[in-house]
């Protein structure tokens, strides 16, 4: 009878051998590291195509910072450069206003753990590059995950953020995050407003790579 087969002793060829268990453990660790390097906003819905850029995903392993590849910077769409963003104190600006300087844009939210880890590095960078023609701007957006005006204000005060933090234009936010919509994301723009480098996710090496991109932008 068919049911008798279920009563047979276990086969000696085990599915989960020691080597397979070890391989599964490695895959699990790498996946966890990748997932922990970025967060996924839930409020972004857009049909915009992403800005084609020289993108670097945060490395999972500890590797020395390297200078960005000498790829040609990519122009931003005119509607993105002209989009109006509003700082926490009510002032408005456009990305176009920063032309003539190197601009570092950091997209983040208060509930994003990796964002919290990397912001102190941007605070230090902003201090180090003062007077050298480099500007930093933190962009965020209000959502239903607790990234409220009160939470953002408290966050900036707690971390003593020394550069402007602004509410991003919805279209600009969605376009810059596309296609993966994960945060943090950091853009380094050249003096003429083109994208030199885009960094997705967080690792301890991202700060050094952003600095390398800034130095490249200053020298071009």
pLDDT at 180: 76
Global pTM value:
0.73
Encode pLDDT of 12-25 as tens digits: 445 455 544 444 44
Encode pLDDT of 45-89 as tens digits: 333 335 555 566 655 444 444 444 556 789 999 999 999 999 999
CATH (one of 3.40.30.10, 3.40.50.300, 3.40.50.1100, 3.50.50.60) for 55-219: 3.40.30.10
The two three-digit tokens of residue 211, written as one number:
């600095």
CA–CA distance, 201 with 214 (Å, rounded to integer): 18
Encode pLDDT of 76-122 as tens digits: 999 999 999 999 999 999 999 999 999 999 999 999 999 999 999 99
The two three-digit tokens of residue 88, written as one number:
């926490």
Look at residues 159, 207, 183, 190 and name the one whose alpha carbon lies nearest to residue 42. Answer: 183
Any idea what DSSP says for residue 141?
A: -
Q: CA-based Rg of the chain, rounded to a whole angstrom?
A: 22
């Amino acid at each position: 009878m068919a049911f008798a087969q279920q009563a047979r002793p276990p086969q000696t060829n085990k599915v989960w051998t020691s080597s397979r268990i070890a391989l599964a453990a490695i895959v699990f660790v790498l996946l966890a590291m990748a997932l922990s390097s970025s967060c996924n906003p839930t409020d972004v819905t857009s049909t915009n195509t992403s800005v084609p850029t020289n993108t670097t995903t945060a490395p999972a392993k500890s590797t020395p910072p390297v200078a960005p590849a000498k790829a040609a910077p990519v122009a931003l769409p005119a509607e993105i450069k002209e989009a109006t963003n509003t700082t926490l104190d009510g002032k408005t600006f456009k990305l176009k206003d920063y032309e003539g300087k190197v601009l570092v844009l950091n997209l983040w939210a208060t509930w994003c753990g990796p964002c919290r880890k990397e912001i102190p590095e941007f605070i230090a960078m902003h201090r180090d590059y003062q007077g050298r023609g480099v500007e930093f701007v933190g962009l965020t957006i209000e959502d239903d995950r607790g990234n409220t005006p009160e939470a953002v204000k408290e966050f900036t005060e707690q971390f003593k953020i020394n550069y402007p933090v602004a509410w991003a234009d919805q279209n600009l936010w969605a376009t810059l995050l596309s296609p993966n919509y994960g945060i943090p994301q950091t853009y380094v723009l050249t003096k003429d407003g083109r994208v030199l480098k885009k960094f997705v996710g967080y690792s301890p090496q991202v700060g050094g790579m952003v600095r390398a991109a800034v130095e490249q932008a200053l020298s071009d």
